[in-house]
Chain A
């Protein structure tokens, strides 16, 4: 069975500082990993994904994530946080079959000016 863990319910960071939102996963085969962002009363917006290839993936709005197979992690990062980055972030995983995404519980990011 697939699962995703986001160990932090809330992450607070000052504007301009680097941010990290943590994610670890468990799948039986090779993972397809995704990050999504959700603003209040909105659906999910796709940020980035890892399927194969380079472990460092760059996505929308300056976000990036690093796939670490040995640690089964896919942490989301941004070098310099903006207040507008404040939102709910979801990590998701699926295996290589035709299976739906499994989501973590989400991490609320607050960027303080």
Chain B
């Protein structure tokens, strides 16, 4: 199946710093990418939907100024957690949907963010 990569796989940062997470579709083009957050032993919570070349659509309760999303190309989306705080510590997972019409969303391996 299609491959989605995320970088970094884990990151530890100090409170107040910003962290950028990259999501790439390696062997397909993704018009739409999604960012999810997962708390321990819980399901995935959709944060935002990102369409290439346009502004991301954020879910209710997600601060767009804190979680900056850029989708500059059909294979790359980035999530920047600005001024991170310990409550932002979580597992962040990106997903990309093929543009070929098969409608399958493929997921990255996730990024574990720990804010000290």
Are A and B co-members of a single complex?
Answer: yes
Binding site for B on A (CB under 8 A): 32, 34, 36, 41-46, 49, 51, 90, 92, 94, 98, 100-106
- With both chains docked as a complex, state the minimum distance between the C-beta of B91 and any C-beta of chain A, in angstroms: 8
Interface window among B14-22, B39-47, B82-90: B39-47
A44 touches B107 (CB 8 A): yes
Residues of A within 8 A of B65 (CB): none
**Neighbour of A43 across the interface among B1, B46, B93, CB < 8 A:** B93
A90 touches B44 (CB 8 A): yes
Residues of B within 8 A of A41 (CB): 91, 110, 112
Q: Does B109 contact A (CB under 8 A)?
A: yes
A34 touches B43 (CB 8 A): no
| Docked CA distance A43–B6 (Å) | 10
Residues of A within 8 A of B34 (CB): 100-101
The size bracket of the interface on B is 20 to 34
**Neighbour of B43 across the interface among A51, A90, A94, A100, CB < 8 A:** A90
Q: Does B25 contact A (CB under 8 A)?
A: no
Closest residue of chain B to A42 (Cβ to Cβ) is: B109
Interface majority SS on B: helix, strand, loop or mixed? strand
Q: Contacts A43-B6, A43-B93, A98-B32 given: A34-B44 contact, CB under 8 Å?
A: no
Binding site for A on B (CB under 8 A): 1, 4, 6, 32, 34, 42-44, 46, 49, 91, 93, 95, 103-110, 112
Residues of B within 8 A of A105 (CB): 42-43
Query: Among A49, A100, A104, A106, which residue has the most Cβ atoms of chain B within 10 A?
Result: A100
A45 touches B110 (CB 8 A): no
A103 touches B43 (CB 8 A): yes
| Docked CA distance A92–B95 (Å) | 13
Residues of B within 8 A of A34 (CB): 104-105
- With both chains docked as a complex, state the minimum distance between the C-beta of A63 and any C-beta of chain B, in angstroms: 14
| Docked CA distance A43–B96 (Å) | 12
Closest residue of chain B to A104 (Cβ to Cβ) is: B43
Sample of 20 A–B contacts (CB below 8 Å) = A32-B103, A34-B105, A36-B107, A41-B112, A43-B6, A43-B93, A43-B107, A44-B44, A46-B105, A49-B103, A49-B104, A90-B44, A94-B103, A100-B49, A100-B105, A101-B46, A101-B105, A103-B43, A105-B43, A106-B42
